């Protein structure tokens, strides 16, 4: 087992072995979560603070549940309505929380790199729950676990990521993870929603769904992030749905056993057909939510082990020096 990271800031910092370690442990937590009595003491005595500078229901609930099932004391801070509004800087907020000795800090922030900045200043393990348009590592890990369980492997697959890639941290983290695990990645989006220079990441770039989906094992749809758009990216939602929304017709270009994924929340009838999203033979969207809790438990468990080991080493050093 390999997992050296002190923080989980992004997939970029993880090795393929570390990714496999997370997925293996998460597999065990999937079974654990299906029991009637689902309580462990892996994080007993530890304090987990969820700091969400952007509103989130699903991710925050998932992290909260993961922490509670591992026995941590979990506190949620809705930062969107807090002292940040009174002009406190991110680092002051971080230092204030740091003085309360949390062990795990789960952070979501609207600015790319904000979680990295915060991790430099605190003494606990920091988990990135999404920073701006940068990374959302637990989402990529839960997607990987979902794919591995559905397809039996997480390499040598053709994965199509479709939709609003420009505004998506989910796309970035998935792109990096799937690349590290040696998969073929295709990006499909209108040129206005495709970030510059992505072809240099070693993925194939398409602006046509039929061509991009040809022979895909996995079809990953992204939410159209209307709240991040300042206008003029697409002519209308109905034209977007017509050209880029996933429905049965477009899905026929993918392999017959291709699975359909979506990080949620979905805009039915904008990026995905409602019926397709609910089709239990193709859609693994509900599985993704289940895997989310297990993956977050695995990540926090592994980070907590490293944190304990680090503190142990420090205590030993203080005793024997």
Partner 1 sequence: MTVFLENARLIDPEALTERLGNVVLDGGLIAAIGAANAPKGAVVIDCGGKCLAPGIVDWGVKIGEPGERHRESFRSAGRAAAAGGVTTIIARPDTAPAIDTPELLEFVTRRAAGAAPVRIHHMAALTKGREGREMTEIGFLLDAGAIAFTDVDHVARDTRSLSRALSYARSLGALVIGHPQDPGLSAGAAVTSGKFASLRGLPAVSPMAERMGLDRDLALVEMTGVRYHADQITTARSLPALARAKADGLNVTAGISIHHLTLNDLDVGDYRTFFKMTPPLRSEEDRLAVLEAVASGLIDVIASMHTPADEESKRLPFEEAAAGAVALETLLPAAMRLYHSGALTLAQLFRAMALNPARRLGLPQGRLAEGAPADLVLFDPDAPFLLDRFKLHSKSKNTPFDGQRMEGKVLATFVAGVQVYGNAGAEEHS
Q: Are 182 and 156 in contact (CB under 8 A)?
A: yes
Q: Indicate whether 198 belongs to the interface with partner 1 (CB under 8 A).
A: yes
Q: In what order do the strands lie in the sheet with 204-206?
A: 204-206, 184-188, 158-162, 218-221, 259-261
* Binding of partner 1 by 109 (CB under 8 A): yes
DSSP character at residue 8: B
Spell out the residues 6+ positions from residue 247 whose beta carbon is closer than 8 angstroms to its own: 272, 273, 276
Strands of the sheet containing 104-109, edge to edge, are 73-78, 47-52, 104-109, 125-131
Closest to partner 1 by CB, 177 vs 246, is: 177
Element (H, E) at 77: strand 73-78
Q: Is 111 in the site for partner 1 (CB under 8 A)?
A: yes
- In the bound state with partner 1, the residue whose beta carbon lies nearer, of 114 and 160, is 114
Stretch that binds partner 1, among 61-69, 133-141, 146-154, 292-300 (CB under 8 A): 133-141
The SS3 of residue 165 is: coil
Residues 157-186 contacting partner 1, CB under 8 A? 169, 172
* Contact between residue 210 and residue 162 where contact means Cβ atoms under 8 Å apart: no
User: Of 57, 81, 89, 319, which lies in the binding site for partner 1, with binding defined by CB under 8 A?
Assistant: 89
4: left (phi over 0), alpha (psi -120 to 50) or beta: alpha
Q: State in Å, rounded, how far the first CA of the chain is from the last one.
A: 31
Query: Counting contacts by CB under 8 A, is residue 91 touching partner 1?
Result: yes
Q: Closer to partner 1 by CB, 207 or 247: give it.
A: 207
Task: Work out whether 223 is an interface residue with partner 1 (CB under 8 A).
Answer: no
Work out which of 80, 117, 150, 266 binds partner 1, going by CB under 8 A: 117
CB under 8 A: which stretch of 38-46, 61-69, 85-93, 307-315 binds partner 1?
A: 85-93
Beta bridge partners of 291: none
87 or 152: CB nearest partner 1: 87
Does 135 contact partner 1 by CB under 8 A? Answer: yes
**Interface contacts to partner 1, rule CB under 8 A:** 12, 89-91, 109, 111-114, 116-117, 131-135, 169, 172, 195-198, 200-201
């Amino acid at each position: 087992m390999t997992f050296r990271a002190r923080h989980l800031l992004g997939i970029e910092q993880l090795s393929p072995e570390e990714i496999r370690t997370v997925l293996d442990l998460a597999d065990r937590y999937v079974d654990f979560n299906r029991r009637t009595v689902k309580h462990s003491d892996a994080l007993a005595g530890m304090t987990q603070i969820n700091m969400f500078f952007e509103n989130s229901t699903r991710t925050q609930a998932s992290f909260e549940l993961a922490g509670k099932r591992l026995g941590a004391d979990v506190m949620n801070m809705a930062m969107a309505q807090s002292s940040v509004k009174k002009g406190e800087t991110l680092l002051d907020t971080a230092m204030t929380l740091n003085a309360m000795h949390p062990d795990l800090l789960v952070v979501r922030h609207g600015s790319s790199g904000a979680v990295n900045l915060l991790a430099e200043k605190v003494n606990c393990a920091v988990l990135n729950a999404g920073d701006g348009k940068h990374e959302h590592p637990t989402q990529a890990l839960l997607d990987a676990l979902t794919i591995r369980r559905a397809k039996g492997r997480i390499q040598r697959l053709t994965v199509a990521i479709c939709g609003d890639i420009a505004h998506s941290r989910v796309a970035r983290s998935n792109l990096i993870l799937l690349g590290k695990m040696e998969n073929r990645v295709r990006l499909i989006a209108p040129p206005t929603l495709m970030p510059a220079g992505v072809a240099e990441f070693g993925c194939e770039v398409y602006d046509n769904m039929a061509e991009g989906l040809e022979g895909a094992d996995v079809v990953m749809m992204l939410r159209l992030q209307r709240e991040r758009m300042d206008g003029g990216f697409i002519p209308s939602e109905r034209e977007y749905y017509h050209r880029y929304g996933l429905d049965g017709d477009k899905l026929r270009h993918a392999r017959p056993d291709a699975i359909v994924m979506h990080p949620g929340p979905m805009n039915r009838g904008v990026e995905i057909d409602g019926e397709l999203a609910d089709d239990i033979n193709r859609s693994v969207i509900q599985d993704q939510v289940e895997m989310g809790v297990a993956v977050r438990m695995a990540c926090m468990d592994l980070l907590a082990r490293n944190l304990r080991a680090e503190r142990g080493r420090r205590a030993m050093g203080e005793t024997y020096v």
